[in-house]
A = this chain, B = another copy of it.
Amino acid sequence: MTHSVFIAGEWRPARSIGTFRTQNPATGEPLTGEYPISSWDDCDAALSAATEAAQELRRVPPEKIAQFLNRYADRLDMLKSELSQLAHFETALPVSPRLADVELPRTTTQLRQAAAAALEGSWALPTIDTKANIRSCLAPIGPVVVFGPNNFPFAFNGAAGGDFAAAIAAGNPVIAKGHPLHAGTTRTMTDVAAGALADTGLPAPTLQLIYRMEPSSGLRIVSDRRVGATAFTGGRAGGLALKAAADGAGKPIYLELSSVNPVVILPGSLEERGEAVADEYAASALLGGGQFCTSPGLAILFEGSGTGRFVTALTQKFDAAVPVPLLSAGVARGLTESVQVLRGAGAELVTGGVRLKPDTPNGESSRFANTLLRVTGRQFLSSPDQLQTEAFGSAVLCVIVRDGSEAAAVIDHLEGSLTGCIYSAQNGDDDALYADLAPRLRARVGRLLNDKMPTGVTLSPAMNHGGLYPATSHPGFTAVGIPASLRRFGALHCYDNVRPGRLPAALRDKSPNGRMWRFIDGQWSQADVPV
């Protein structure tokens, strides 16, 4: 049986050019059913339906959009066990706590925050100049294509995750390109969304689903005249190819790609609380098999006995933890290759570095030993590009520098990353090093942390899950954090001398809801325009 795609409001057979199957990465067993690889015809049909839906959505009051997002969240919560079980089979991520207790609640919280943001309307930065009678706000950008990644079957799912929620809350329809590794989870979530759309009376093509398409169709869809913007979370090669296509057509594309997430551990912090830092590091690096965008893949440490003890402790913890099955055998294969590249560039293997035997006789293993590697600062500086190869999984490279100036040089050679952390002593011993290194690290990352590992990406209005190229495509935007993440999907619409009755609700003298923050004559205010 081949599953249907969801296009123009109906589940229908794909116009496909082939099929694929999913499998349980823990066992290598194939899961039931085949999924279609869509031809351009499916993409084209989805774009046409999305264009019409975009026009309809402009006439829909925000209350209805919020109602849909809330109802969708409620229904997902009700199906928590089933969804977690399904996602577990497809991803090997544990049902509990990961899928059922962390990721699904995160996903529905995100949907509800998006609902609240749509309802309030402040995300659009409505700005009113009463004297000149010029008014502006962000408005829906048009159909948004969301490419979901492999590593979050719920929270970054193209049909339910953060990009989806932000695009919908900003008033846009979404064409979800689900990740093939968890096609069944995405299909089920889309079906839940379809029910919520019908319940609330939104246009059915507010969400459409394609599981997989030819690479050439991917390049074509992100650059199509009908599309408003694209959000892509995933690997660098695919993301940059899509970016080139979208850029060439003048279409915004927001990427959230791989990143090594440097952690600088200053010597005083190890003197003070070395064991605790090693605990925190190991827990963060091993979490979810290290398969996070913000996994701490690169530690910068200072030569000395504290670092020696830290590496020993980390090694013990890595050895003691049983490697989990990764998201697919392909991920294990990629990790094998990355570790080879790192070793080829001079990194010394401290522990791990090998792929484990398959669990089933004929299967391909999806497990890889927890891996720690080490280079000196000098070696790093001789091959800085290769030694920043992302090793997606639980693999950490320790760069051991001689002194502050070598640390500074290493940091200055880092590519853009989503996050950067600095651990320093509480007693002030590291303050001089911090003062020199923090501004350098600040310039390379989107989120700077103190004394804290990067893998928790709090759902906060102040979050930046973004950073410099090549971790993302634009340093001014974040993929997580409402309301800011919605602004990626807005076009600035200005109204100059437009008659009052013709203005959108957000820009009329009377506040549409008494809660929307508007920048009126230089002041942020929730009130009506003063008479």
Residues of chain A having any CB pair with chain B under 8 Å: 55, 58, 125, 127-129, 132, 134-136, 138-139, 141-142, 243-244, 247-252, 416, 419, 434, 438-439, 442-443, 446-452, 454, 458, 460-464, 466, 468-470, 473-478, 481, 484, 487-488, 490-499, 502, 517, 519, 522, 524
Q: How far is the CB of A413 from chain B (nearest CB, A)?
A: 11
Q: A127-B461, A419-B496, A438-B502 are in contact. List 7 more A-B contacts (CB 8 A).
A: A128-B462, A129-B458, A252-B474, A434-B502, A446-B492, A450-B502, A451-B497
Q: How many copies does the complex hold?
A: 2
Q: Which chain B residues border A498 with CB–CB below 8 Å? A: 448-450
Q: Which chain B residues border A484 with CB–CB below 8 Å? A: 125, 127, 492
Interchain CB contact under 8 A, A129 and B493: no
Interchain CB contact under 8 A, B492 and A464: yes
Q: Which chain B residues border A252 with CB–CB below 8 Å? A: 474-476
Interchain CB contact under 8 A, B492 and A466: yes
Interchain CB contact under 8 A, B442 and A493: yes
Q: Of B139, B443, B446, B488, which contacts A494 at CB under 8 A?
A: B446
Quick one: given A134-B458, A476-B138, are A494 and B463 in contact (CB under 8 Å)? yes
Q: Of B446, B470, B481, which contacts A493 at CB under 8 A?
A: B446
Interchain CB contact under 8 A, B462 and A134: yes
Q: How far is the CB of A163 from chain B (nearest CB, A)?
A: 16
Interchain CB contact under 8 A, B469 and A250: yes
Alpha-carbon distance between A139 and B488 when the two chains are bound, in angstroms = 18
10 cross-chain CB contacts under 8 A: A142-B443, A243-B247, A251-B469, A446-B491, A446-B492, A448-B494, A464-B492, A478-B492, A478-B494, A484-B492
Alpha-carbon distance between A199 and B508 when the two chains are bound, in angstroms = 45
Alpha-carbon distance between A493 and B463 when the two chains are bound, in angstroms = 9
Alpha-carbon distance between A484 and B132 when the two chains are bound, in angstroms = 17
Quick one: given A460-B129, A484-B127, A517-B524, are A452 and B138 in contact (CB under 8 Å)? no
Q: How far is the CB of A494 from chain B (nearest CB, A)?
A: 3
Q: How far is the CB of A124 from chain B (nearest CB, A)?
A: 11
Q: Which chain B residues border A452 with CB–CB below 8 Å? A: 496-497
Q: Which chain B residues border A251 with CB–CB below 8 Å? A: 469
Interchain CB contact under 8 A, A464 and B136: yes
Interchain CB contact under 8 A, B475 and A492: yes
Among A58, A129, A142, residue most surrounded by chain B Cβ atoms (within 10 Å): A129
Q: Which chain B residues border A519 with CB–CB below 8 Å? A: 461
Among A248, A462, A495, residue most surrounded by chain B Cβ atoms (within 10 Å): A462
Alpha-carbon distance between A438 and B463 when the two chains are bound, in angstroms = 37
Interchain CB contact under 8 A, B448 and A496: yes
| Nearest-neighbor residue (CB-CB) of A464 within chain B | B494
Q: How far is the CB of A237 from chain B (nearest CB, A)?
A: 14
Interchain CB contact under 8 A, A494 and B250: no
| Nearest-neighbor residue (CB-CB) of A497 within chain B | B452
Interchain CB contact under 8 A, A136 and B463: yes
Alpha-carbon distance between A452 and B478 when the two chains are bound, in angstroms = 37
Alpha-carbon distance between A463 and B138 when the two chains are bound, in angstroms = 12
Alpha-carbon distance between A458 and B497 when the two chains are bound, in angstroms = 12
Q: Which chain B residues border A490 with CB–CB below 8 Å? A: 476
Q: Of B132, B442, B449, which contacts A496 at CB under 8 A?
A: B449
Q: Which chain B residues border A247 with CB–CB below 8 Å? A: 243-244, 247-248
| Nearest-neighbor residue (CB-CB) of A488 within chain B | B476
Q: Which chain B residues border A448 with CB–CB below 8 Å? A: 493-496, 498
Interchain CB contact under 8 A, B127 and A462: yes
Q: How far is the CB of A525 from chain B (nearest CB, A)?
A: 8
Alpha-carbon distance between A524 and B250 when the two chains are bound, in angstroms = 33
Interchain CB contact under 8 A, B134 and A463: yes
| Nearest-neighbor residue (CB-CB) of A426 within chain B | B499
Q: How far is the CB of A127 from chain B (nearest CB, A)?
A: 4
Q: How far is the CB of A285 from chain B (nearest CB, A)?
A: 18
Interchain CB contact under 8 A, A129 and B502: no
Alpha-carbon distance between A178 and B226 when the two chains are bound, in angstroms = 37
Q: How far is the CB of A154 from chain B (nearest CB, A)?
A: 21
Q: Which chain B residues border A135 with CB–CB below 8 Å? A: 462
| Nearest-neighbor residue (CB-CB) of A492 within chain B | B464
Interchain CB contact under 8 A, A450 and B493: no
Interchain CB contact under 8 A, A129 and B250: no
Alpha-carbon distance between A324 and B468 when the two chains are bound, in angstroms = 47
| Nearest-neighbor residue (CB-CB) of A418 within chain B | B494
Quick one: given A460-B129, A462-B129, A463-B136, are A477 and B492 in contact (CB under 8 Å)? yes
Interchain CB contact under 8 A, B244 and A450: no
Q: How far is the CB of A200 from chain B (nearest CB, A)?
A: 23
Alpha-carbon distance between A454 and B248 when the two chains are bound, in angstroms = 29
